[in-house]
Amino acid sequence: MENNVIELRDICKSFYGVQVLKNINLDLKVGEALCIAGENGSGKSTMIKIISGAYDYDYGMLKINGKEFPSITPSQSIAEGIQVIYQDFSLFPNLTVAENIGLSYHLLENKKAYNAKSSREIARESLNRIGVDLDLDRLVEDIPVAQKQIVAIARAIMQDAKVVIMDEPTTALTQNEIYRLYDIINNLKASGVSIIFVSHKLDEIFAVCDRVYVIRNGKEVANYPVDQFERGKLSYYMTGAEIYEEAFVPEELSEEPVFEVRGYSNRNNFKDISFKIHHGEILCITGRLGSGRGELAKTLFGVSPATEGEMFIHGKPVRVRNVSEAIKHKIAYIPDDRLAEGIFLRASIKDNLVAVILDNLKNKLGLVNEKVKAKSAAEWQERLAIKATLGAPGQSLSGGNQQRVVLGKWLASNPEVLILNCPTMGVDVKSKSEIHELIREMAAHDIAILLISDDIGEILNNSNRVIVMNDGRISFEAETETLDYDSLSEKITEIL
């Protein structure tokens, strides 16, 4: 017991009469990396919020550093050395990178005045530990989601933490940044810092964790050293079902490409990108943070216009200078940041599902036909197995269901080309498998699929061709059947 930095005994928690945690018993040892695994809605986040003081528990016992806390506040948790990196980052969008990283340090030290020079030094030191160079003066609202994640990690580790809780910390990171994070975690462990690592990515769990605690429906179902698990067994514990991922093999490709890009460029973001996509196949584009892959996806959808190059759909040249023109040409885009760009959080599921096709539902008087609207939304709810009532707000859904709503919104527009930017980011194992199955189904039904991803397992199992971008250019292209995890990882991380 003396070696435990955190102890939970028979912890129970209910919300509005629904019990979400049932007799949770958990120990975290000094210098240990513990994975808490489970599907969305399993109770993982509730556990984290009890430890961090965001929630009170109803029954049980909580000890941190040997001290028992009948209840604990966030300030007390921080004072005990608990640092949390949440999925939503909890950053100040109107402050700079340096201010976001340095501000909490000033608050912890009870500084009476903010010191800009000190904040820059703190931010630079923290980013150096991660091995990432960011513009300290940029506003957080202006940086990509991947860089926001890095800012959140840097802010958490720059304090004298005893426990760092990472809730899906790599969702927006490419493989190179993930490897850097592994090194940071190992260094923290060696210095006696404990890690609670929440992840849906099985490769990460096996790479960094000493022990895995699996929770399902608010109950513990497994708690063993990581070497006692293998992928299928861990997936089964998390979901209660057998999940298999077989490599994607196109059934039949169209003779002519559906979607073609020639010499596409966008100022300093990327240059001279060319590729073709046929019906029936899934092309993946990957690369490190800053490779230009995300910018390419947005340019293809008209978020920012290309400065050079040509685009063809069914062999006919088209111009996409804005999002409206992209939609007109039957191009759909699933963003990597569904909360900020994909779903209307306060709007109902029904309103979200018809958002793109709303004009098509209007009568001659310009009024929306509510019966047709409800019918269309219900059809996509059933087809995508969205587990909620149509009147529920988007913000009430789990990550997997939110992503299904975003997919439904764009599939309702009957697209010819579908650009999927990290479509399984932050969703649980079961939802991830179901989304992969849906992507394959869409490829078989004559939609040209462009998958943007840095999840190597996702790439190898769910595309037949892959393009690697490096420094804004194509550096490598191959059939995925000729690659394995290590060879593709090497191509992604190599510096030209």
pLDDT reported for residue 496: 52
Instruction: Please provide the distance, in angstroms rounded to a whole number, between the alpha carbons at the two ends of the chain.
Output: 51
Residue type, 467: I
Task: Give the whole-angstrom CA distance, residue 405 versus residue 382.
Answer: 11
Joined tokens for residue 40: 């969305």
Which CATH number applies to 4-239? 3.40.50.300
String of DSSP letters for 59-97: EEEEEETTEE-SS--HHHHHHTTEEEE-TTTT--TTSBH
CATH class, 259-493 region: alpha beta
DSSP for residue 361: G
pLDDT reported for residue 339: 79
Placement of tokens 């992503």 in the chain: 403
Residue type, 276: K
pLDDT reported for residue 258: 93
Using only C-alpha atoms, what is the Rg of the chain?
23
- Pairing outcome for strands 211-216 and 219-225: antiparallel
* Dihedral sign for Cα atoms in the order 62, 67, 72, 73: negative
- Are 161 and 193 in contact, with CB atoms under 8 Å apart? yes
Joined tokens for residue 248: 């994607």
Task: Give the whole-angstrom CA distance, residue 184 versus residue 197.
Answer: 13
**Which of 425, 482, 484, 343 shows the shortest CA–CA distance to 178?**
425
pLDDT reported for residue 1: 47
**Which of 138, 135, 130 shows the shortest CA–CA distance to 92?**
138
CB-side neighbour CA atoms (13 Å) of 165: 25
Task: Give the whole-angstrom CA distance, residue 339 versus residue 345.
Answer: 7
Listed in order, the ranges of the chain carrying CATH 3.40.50.300 are 4-239, 259-493
User: Which pTM value belongs to this model?
Assistant: 0.69
Report, as ranges of residue numbers, the positions in the chain whose pLDDT lies below 70.
1-2, 108, 171-177, 241-245, 495-496
Name the strand (E) or helix (H) holding 378: helix 370-383
**Residue 308, φ and ψ in degrees, nearest 5:** -150, 160
CA distance to 122, 421, 474, per residue, from 274 (Å): 42, 18, 8
Placement of tokens 């009170």 in the chain: 56
* Count of residues making up the chain: 496
Reported in sequence order, the residue ranges of 95-162 that DSSP labels E, i.e. its strands, are none
- Are 266 and 286 in contact, with CB atoms under 8 Å apart? no
Per-residue b or e along 315-347, where b marks 16 or more CB atoms closer than 10 Å to that residue's CB: eeebebeeeeebbebbbbbbbbbbbeebbeeee
Task: Give the whole-angstrom CA distance, residue 227 versus residue 211.
Answer: 8
Joined tokens for residue 221: 């179902």
Placement of tokens 């990196």 in the chain: 85
Per-residue b or e along 383-396, where b marks 16 or more CB atoms closer than 10 Å to that residue's CB: ebebebebeebbee
pLDDT reported for residue 172: 62
Task: Give the whole-angstrom CA distance, residue 129 versus residue 183.
Answer: 10
